[in-house]
Structure 1
Amino acid sequence: MTAPEPTTDGTYRDRIIAVEPGGNEFIADADRHGRPSQLVWTWASPNLEFATIFLGVLAVAYYGMNFWQAAAGILLGAGLGVLAHGVLSARGPRHGVPQMVLGRLPFGFKGNAVPSTLMSITAGVGWFATNSVSGAFALSTLFGIGPLPALVVVVLIQTSLAFFGHNLVQAFERFAFPVLAVIFALASVAILGKSDLGAPAFEDGVGGLGGFLLTVGTTFGYVAGWAPYAADFSRYLPKTVSPVRTGFFAATGLFLACTTLAIVGAASVTIATDATDNPTDAFTSSLPEWLASATLLAIAIGAIAANAINVYSGAMAFVTTGIKLPAHIARALATVFFGVAGFLIAWWALADAAASYEAFLLLIAYWIGPWLGVVFADQYLRRGHRVEGFLYDRSYTNWPGLASFLIGLVVSVLLFCNQERFVGFVVRAVPELGDITFFVGFVLAAGCYLVFCRAKIEAERVAL
C-alpha cells in the first residue's frame, strides 16, 4: 500500500513577511524558488557564532591539544560532517520534503518517530538553549544588562523568525551573512595576530590520541548535527537544479564557517587574559574596544541566525513524529512550544555553559552517527528506486531499520562512550581511545541495515 503526497497550494511562493502555511507537506512546483548558491549563507550564517568558536576553545583548554593538533582535529571532524550534510542537502530539490520525512523510508512511518523526537529535542530544545546562552552572554556584556533579560530578548527574536517560517529565515541568513563575515574576519585577524600558535598544550588536559579523538568527535557532532536539517532548506529549490551544486554549496558554507571560527577559537586560548565566568567576554577581551563591541554584537546575531534554523527544523521534526495537528498551524504552533522549552533550558544552563556544551556535543554525535549510518545505507539500497508513495503512508513499516539504529546506538555507547557519568567498557580498558562512539555507531548501524533490509527494499522496488 502507498499513499499520495499532500502538497502545498502554491500561495506561499517567495513571500517573506508571511507565515509559512502547513507543516511538512511536499513543496509544489508553484512554491519552488531560489538557487543552490544561496545555501552558502544559509549554512554559513548560523555557524558564524560563539558555539562554533567554543569548539576550538574546548580542544585546547579541555582536551589538551596544542593549536596545530586542535586545527587538524577540527578540519577532520568538520570534513566528515559536511560530507554527510552535502549528500543529504542534494536530495531536497528532488523529493521536495523535509529531511525527517525522508527518514520514513529507512525507519517506517511509526518507527521514524524515534529519530524525529530525538531531532526535535536536539534542535528545538538542546541547540536552541546552547546558542541562546552564548547570545545572552554577548548582549549582557555589550549592554551591561543581566544575562536573563538578555536571554529573553534573544529568544523572542529568534522564535519570531522561525514562527514565520522558511522564507523569512532564509532572508535573515542572507542579510546577516555579510555583517557576520566582515566582523568575524576582522576579529579573527586580530586574535591570530596576538596568539601564540607555538604554545605547548595545557598539562591538565586529556592530551594524546584521546584528546585528538575528542576534538574530532565534538567537531563532528557539531557539524553533523546539522544533517537532520539538510533537506529542510533545500526542498524549496526547483526540481531542475543540479544536485551536485546543491550539495556543494550547502557543504561549502558549513565547512568554511565552522573550520574558520573553531580554529580561531583554538588560537584565542593561547592569549593570556583575565579569568571570567562569561565565555564571550573572555574571547573578546584581547580585542580593541570598538572591535570587541562589534564582535559581541555579531555573536548575538549569529546565535539568532542559528536558532531561527534550530527551532524551525525542530518544529518540523516534531510535526513529522505523526502527531496530528491542524495543518495550517502545525509547524507554527510547535515553534512556539520549542521556543518556550528552549528558553527554560537555556536559563538553567547559564550557570555552567562550558560543561553543558561539551557533554551536549558528544551526546549529539552518539545518535547522529547511527542515524546517518541507517540513512546512507537505505539511500544506497534504494538508488534508482521511486520512493514517493511511501513517505506519507501511515501503514508503511521498516522495523529492521529502527532495530539497526538502536543496535548501533546502544552497542557503541556501552562500549565506547567516554562521559563523566559513564565510561564504555572498551574505553575503560583502553582509555587512550578517547571517544569514538560516533564512528562505531555509524559503521555498526549501516552494516546491520544492509544485512537486515536488502531483501525487503528490493521487493518494494518490484512492487512499486
Structure 2
Amino acid sequence: MSAIKPGGVQKFMEQFINAVLTTIPIGVLAQSAFTLRFGNTVATILRFRALGSVATAFIATLGPITGLRTMIIAHFSSGYFGGTIYSILNIFIQLSFSTTAVILGGQTLANINPGTLSLIVGIIIIGVCCLIPCFIGYDMVHVYERYAWIVTSVIMLFLWGLGGKAGYDINTQKLFEDTGRALSADILSFGGIVFGSFSGWAPVAADYNCRLPADTPPMRVFLLTFLSVFIPLCFVEILGAALMTITDPAYIAAYADGSTGGVIAQVLSPWGHFGQFILVLLALSIIVNNIPNTYSTGLSIQALGRPFAMVPRFFCVFLASVIYTVAGVAGREHFSAILSNFLSILSYWTAFFIVIVAEEHFIFRQKNGPLGGYNLDDYDTLSKLPLGLAGAVVGMSEVWYTGPLEKMAGATYGADLGFENETIQNYVKKGKARLVQGDALVKSDVRQAWSEAQGSDSEPTQVDFLIFTVSGTPHFSLAKCFTINPPNLVTQSLLNVLETLPSPQPKIITISSAGLMRASHKSVPLPLKPLYNYLLTLPHRDKCGAEEVVAYSTG
C-alpha cells in the first residue's frame, strides 16, 4: 500500500486515499451515536487508531516477503478452508464499506443543489464511477491512487478552515456525555469502530505490496504503511468530530436533513458555486477510496477456490460494483446504522485474523522456527496446510444483538468488546487463565473440568458463573451446506454441563445465535439473511435444541 521502488525512493502513497469523504462520518459518529465530547473523541481516535495502524502495517510487510495476496497468505495460518472463510468475510466487509461509501457520495451529490438530483441517482453515479478504473487493472489502480489523494487532502484543509470560521465549540457535547460505566461503554464501543476502520485495511494490506522486491526491508514497509494510514485517518476523522461541535442552527438543520453530506454542503456554502464545485470533487473522492475495496473484492472472490480463480477478474469486479450500488440504493435511509454496525463487525473478524496471522508468522514461520519459513509452493496444497478451525467471539454489542459480557461492561446498551476479547490469549500465556483439555460430549471430561475449576481440597474455589459456548470443525456440502458432526453438538454438550453441575450451582450464561426465531430473524441485517436461511440451517437447529434445554431446565 506504500510504494517503495527498488532504488530506495520511498513515497507515501495509496493509504493517503483515506483522506477522503468516507472517513469523515466515523468522527461524526462519536457525538451523533455515542454523545462523546470532542476531547474524549480525539483521545479515543488516537489510541485505537494506533492499534489498528500497527496491525495493518504488519500485514503489509508480508506482501514483499511472500509475493502473495493477503487472502492467500492466510492459507499458511488457517488452511485452505479457513482461508476460504476469511475470503467470504472479506468480500462481505469490502462490499459493506463500499455500500456506505456510495451512499455518502450520493448524499453529497444530492446536497449540491437540493431538489435537482435524487439520492438514488447520486448513488448510481458514484457506483459507476468507482467501477471504471478497476477495469483497467492493477497498474492503473496504482497510478490513479498515487496522485488522486493530493486533491482530496487540499479539500480537507478547506473544510478545516471553513469549519473554524463557522465556529468550533469543543465543549458543546459536555452536558450530553454519559458518565461512569455508560461513558466507558461509549468509549469502548466507539473505539471498536475506530479500530475496525483502521484494521479493515489489514485483510487487503498485502494486495498492493506483493510486487515489491522480496528484499525490501520489512521495517521500511511497516513504518511507511503505519504513518500513511495513521496520519490521514486521524486528520480526517477528527475533522468529522470537529464539524459536529458547530452549534450554528443552519448546521444542525443541515445534519438533520442531509446527514454528513448535508453538513459538508453547509460548510462549503459560503463559497457559492466554487463551493459546489468542491463538493462535486469531494463526492468523487469516494472513487479513490472505493477502487481498492472493489479490486480486492475481486481478488477475494478468486481466492475462494480453484473454480473461482478461473473467473475473469473484471467480471468479479463488475459483480461487486453492481452489488454494493444496489445495496446502497436499498439502504440509503439508514446510513449511520449501517456504518456503525458494519465497522463494529469489521473489528471482530479483523482482530482474530490479525492475531492468527501474526502468531503463525512470528512463532512458526521464522527461519529458526518449527516450520522454517514459508514454502510458497504449498499455498493451495491441502495436505501441507493447517486444518483451520473457527473461533467464536462472545464480545458483541450491536443493534440486533448484545452479548452477556457487553451487558456487564455497559449501563444500558452494553459495550462493544469484540476485538478486546482477543487479549484473553495473553492471560492464558501468563498463567492467569487455564485451558482444560477434554471433550464436551464426554460427561466424564466435563465433570473433570468442573473439578479443575473448583480447585483442590486444600484450596477450594467456588465457581461464580459459567459462560457456555461450543465450536466444532465445520464441513460443507452443496446439499446440506455447513454441518457439524455430531449434528446435536451444542445440545448434547449443554446437557452434559447441566447434568454435572457442582454445588452450589453457578450462574450460567449460554451463547446462542441471534435471529433463530421468526420474530428475531426480522432484525438480522439483510446481508446476513442468506447466511441464516441457507448456509447455517442445520447448525441453527442444534442451537434451537440447546435453547429448548435451557427453557426446560429453568421451568
2:54 equivalent to 1:83: yes
Read off the aligned partner of 1:49 and give its amino acid letter: V
Residue of structure 2 in register with 1:167 after alignment:
139
Aligned to 2:72: 101
**Residue in 2 that maps onto 1:315:** 298
Compute the displacement of 1:294 (Å): 4.7
- TM-score w.r.t. length of structure 1: 0.82
Alignment of 1:187 with 2:166, yes or no, is no
The Cα RMSD (Å) is 2.5
The whole-number CA distance in structure 2 between the counterparts of 1:295 and 1:447 is: 53
Contact 2:170 2:245 in 1 (8 A): yes
Per-residue deviation, 1:325: 4.3
* The one of 365, 381, 403 aligned to 1:393: 381
Contact map agreement 2:79 2:386 (CA 8 A) in 1: yes
Query: Contact 1:280–1:296 (CA<8 Å) still a contact in 2?
Result: no
- What residue ranges of structure 2 are gaps of 5+ in the alignment? 436-555
SS where residue 398 of structure 2 aligns?
Answer: coil
Tell me, in whole angstroms, the C-alpha distance in 2 between the residues paired with 1:446 and 1:122: 30
Deviation at 1:312, TM superposition (A): 0.5
Alignment match, 1:232 = 207
Match of 1:18 in 2: none
Greater CA radius of gyration, 1 or 2?
2
Structure 1 residues 136-145 or 179-188, which shifts more? 136-145
How far apart, CA to CA, are the structure 2 residues paired with 1:442 and 1:114? Answer: 22
* Structure 2 CA distance for partners of 1:447 and 1:106, relative to 1, 3 Å: farther
1-structure distance, mates of 2:355, 2:169: 40
Aligned to 1:289: 271
Q: Are the counterparts in 1 of residues 31 and 37 from structure 2 also a CA contact under 8 Å?
A: yes
Equivalent residue number for residue 348 of structure 2: 366
For structure 1, the 5+ residue unaligned runs are: 1-13, 15-31, 453-464
Question: Amino acid of the residue matched to residue 61 of structure 2?
Answer: A
Query: What CA distance in whole angstroms lies between the structure 2 residues aligned with 1:446 and 1:162?
Result: 45
Q: For residues 8 and 332 of structure 2, what CA distance do their matches in structure 1 show?
A: 39
* Displacement over 4 Å in runs of 4+: 32-36, 204-207, 442-448
What is the distance in 1 between the residues matched to 2:151 and 2:144? Answer: 11
Counterpart amino acid of 1:79? Answer: A
Q: Deviations over 1:38-64 (max 9, x none)?
A: 4x220111x122321111111112111
Separation of aligned partners in 2, 1:151 and 1:62? 24
Q: Does 1:44 find its partner at 2:19? A: no
Q: Is the 8 A contact 2:6 2:216 kept in 1?
A: no
SS of residue matched to 1:233: coil
Specify the alignment match of 2:171 in structure 1: 198
Alignment of 1:195-274 (within 5 A): 195-201=168-174, 203=176, 208-272=183-247, 273=251, 274=253
Deviation at 1:141, TM superposition (A): 2.0
Q: Partners of 1:445 and 1:298 in 2: how far apart? A: 46
Q: Does 1:347 align with 2:329?
A: yes
**Partner of 2:210: helix, strand, or coil?**
coil
Check the 8 A contact 1:140/1:146 in 2, yes or no: yes
Q: In the alignment, which residue of structure 1 is the partner of 2:34?
A: 63
Corresponding letter in the other structure for 1:43: Q
* Structure 1 counterpart of 2:111: 141
Q: 2:396 aligns with which of 417, 432, 435?
A: 417
Give the conservation status (yes or no) of the 8 Å contact 1:373–1:442: no
SS in 2 for 1:277: helix
Q: 1:195 corresponds to which letter in structure 2?
A: Y
Report the residue type matching 2:158 in the other structure: L
Q: CA–CA distance in 1 between the matches of 2:229 and 2:175?
A: 29
Q: How many residues align?
A: 407
CA distance in 1, matches of 2:157, 2:39: 20
TM-score normalised to structure 2 length: 0.69
Percent identical among aligned pairs is 20
What is the CA-CA distance between 1:163 and the residue it aligns to?
2.3
Offset, 1:158 = 1.2
Task: Note the C-alpha offset of 1:74.
Answer: 0.6
Query: 1:4 corresponds to which residue?
Result: none
Question: Is 1:72 paired with 2:43?
Answer: yes
Pick aligned residue for 2:25 from 54, 66, 82? 54
Q: For 1:354 and 1:36, locate their aligned partners in 2 and report how far apart those are by CA, in whole Å.
A: 41
Residues 414-436 of structure 1, C-alpha deviations (whole Å, 9 max, x = no match): xx211122111122233256211
What SS is found at the alignment partner of 1:142?
Answer: coil
Cα distance, 1:35 vs structure 2: 6.5
For the Cα contact (< 8 Å) 1:36–1:245, is it kept in 2? no
- In the alignment, residue 141 of structure 1 is paired with which amino acid? N
Change (3 A) 1:262 1:277: same
Distance 1:152 1:35 in 2: 41
Higher helix share: 1
**Alpha-carbon distance change, 342 to 447 in structure 1, aligned in 2, over 3 angstroms:** farther
